[in-house]
A and B are shown apart, each in its own frame.
Chain A
Amino acid sequence: MTSLWGYAFVHHAIMVGMITAVVAGAVGYFVTARNMGFAVHGLAEMGFTGAAGAVLAGVAPEVGLLSACLLAALAIGLLGVRLRERDVAIGTVLAFGLGLGVLFLVLYTRYATEAFSILFGAILAVDAQDVVRSAVIGALVLAALLLVYRPLQFASIDPAVAEARGIPVRLMSVVFLLVLALAVAEAVQVVGVLLIVTLLITPAGAARRLTAQPGLAILYSTLIAAGVTVGGIVGAVYTSWPVSFFVSTLSLLAYLAARLGARPARA
């Protein structure tokens, strides 16, 4: 069993998993602070359509995934669309996108495995090139977050005063959507479109139960995301059950533990 650790694919999976977890944990903090859970779903679904379209066109699905996520983010940001659960129009467009993706894949039935990996993740199939791409995208996301950290935080939590203080609140939304698109594309590799929440929302949701200090919340969020991702990979390597199953299970457990563990009382 331990011999599995000698395989390059396990190393690649761990590396991509760690990078993704750090990205998802940090971005997740802002997703929860901005109440953007629905945008995460939306971008992931558009990403699926893009990946499926890429397969149909004979392009690498990663390229389709990434460009569809970025395009959707740009469109949402520039049109100033408000992503709310209640919004029937957006929900309908997204469902249409998913339907289109399904059609693309059925037209090319030999790509059923591609569909499965986009929907549920394929972290154990990543190669050295994927590691490099993940690292580049991850560095880009973290650099962007670091650069806009204070104004993004201000605009996310206190938009009325942030605007008055001269922060370009709209620009911050667009920047964050683009960052989110990159993070979604990363996380899809690990847990797939359908389980995206498990990396991009749950760890941050657990972390905010543990602390109200933003810096610490981001740290906890990335640690939890890293823990469940590595745990998921290890679980899958030993059992040959899907990684996504383990990641989502561990994520749920982390969330429950954080909920049950007392939040810091008033100082």
Chain B
Amino acid sequence: MNQTPDSIAADRQIGAGALHAARDAATHPHQPGAAVQLEDASLAIAGRRIWTDLSLTIARGEFLVVIGPNGAGKTSLLRVLLGLVPLVRGRALVHGEVPRRGHPAIGYIPQQRAFDPEIPLRGRDLVGMGLDGHRWGISVRPAAHRARVDRILDLVGARGYADAPIGRLSGGEQQRLRIAQALIGDPSLLLCDEPLLSLDLHSQAVVVELIARWSRERDATVIFVTHDINPVLRLAHRILLLTGARWGVDTPDRMLTTETLSSLYGVPVDVVRHRDRVAVLGVDVGGHDPVPHAEHGS
């Protein structure tokens, strides 16, 4: 396991996810160094409760893995931090501010299906959008724009296919370009929504390594939603489990135990460790099959 930033250790008291433990955190004052703070945050969509009284402080540089069954509100958590969905109660802070759309310090890798093979777009165009796609008009400094896009393409090793139609690339290649798109704005907070979905093992490793390297070198915070913990197990400082009714957050060692997971899921589950891998039996840990998930409300 990676070194844990000091400030994270202090937050461990939230403990293994009993609802009551959350109360403590609610009385915590705002922590100036925190990347993300949730205080008694509750979310409901269309009148339905998604998660309730979520309290969590994520330190700068922390790698937080988020797991939970489909529909538990993992994507919605990211959308709250992006300023796209309001909480019904409590508060969320990103770098000490109320979440707002278009925050320049956030890089976002959406839960995404593959691009239409016919789409008239190259990889470098997708990456370029991450840089200035939100500005009016057309690009006025194409040379500077291009240089910056090239630099980030080199960083993720996607330069070789950046001029090909993006829809013709493999899932792993498309995901590298999505990472480049998220990184080009120099984010200090990366929100990754199931970025390993339907990737082969090699591509999964590449994606994880790119995100981990960015986090390490920039001291960037990562919130990483995944259906399979194993590819990020050695990077995770903490795991947040959302189950709908309950939630819990703790270090992987303390979270991934039969007792903790059984109490959070409310049904008996077995945690089996084999070498470096963990298997949770008896319940869906995350988005189960690597099936493209329909976007909500788009």
Contact = CB atoms under 8 A, between A and B. Distances in A.
11 contacts: A33-B119, A151-B135, A151-B136, A157-B121, A160-B295, A161-B181, A164-B108, A165-B102, A209-B118, A266-B169, A267-B163
Contact of B125 (A166, A214, A264): A214
A164 B134 CA distance: 10
Q: Among B111, B129, B164, find the residue whose CB has the most chain A CB atoms closer than 10 A.
A: B129
Interface string A150-186: 1101100111111111110000000000000000000
Q: Among A157, A159, A208, find the residue whose CB has the most chain B CB atoms closer than 10 A.
A: A157
Contact of B139 (A29, A150, A213, A217): A150
B133 A162 contact: yes
Contacts of A166: 100-102, 134
Interface string B129-149: 110111111110000000000
Contacts of A29: 120
B166 A212 contact: yes
A155 to B, nearest CB: 9
A77 to B, nearest CB: 16
Given A160-B298, A213-B125, A266-B164, A150 B135 contact: yes
A159 B102 contact: no
A212 B165 contact: yes
Interface in B105-136: 106, 108, 110-112, 118-122, 125-126, 129-130, 132-136
Contacts of A150: 129, 132-139
Interface of A: 29, 32-33, 146-151, 153-154, 157-167, 207-209, 211-214, 217, 263-267
B138 A208 contact: no
B280 to A, nearest CB: 29
Nearest to A215: B138
B82 A164 contact: yes
Contacts of A32: 120
Contacts of B84: 163-164
A267 B160 CA distance: 7
Contacts of A267: 160-164
A214 B119 CA distance: 10
Contacts, number: 112
Contacts of A217: 120
Given A151-B134, A164-B101, 9 more contacts: A32-B120, A160-B295, A161-B182, A163-B101, A164-B102, A165-B108, A211-B120, A266-B165, A267-B162
Interface residues of B, number: 40
Q: Among B110, B161, B166, find the residue whose CB has the most chain A CB atoms closer than 10 A.
A: B110
Contacts of B118: 208-209
A158 B138 contact: no
Contact of A154 (B134, B139, B164): B134
Contacts of A167: 102, 133-134
B163 A165 contact: no
A207 B135 CA distance: 26
B168 interface: yes
Contacts of A161: 108, 110, 129-130, 181-182
A206 B231 CA distance: 42
Interface string B59-102: 00000000000000000000000101000000000000000111
A165 B102 CA distance: 4
Interface string B150-193: 00000000001111111011000000000001100000000000
A266 B120 contact: no
A265 B169 CA distance: 11
A29 B118 CA distance: 12
Nearest to B112: A160
B106 A164 contact: yes
B133 A165 contact: yes
Contacts of A154: 129, 133-134
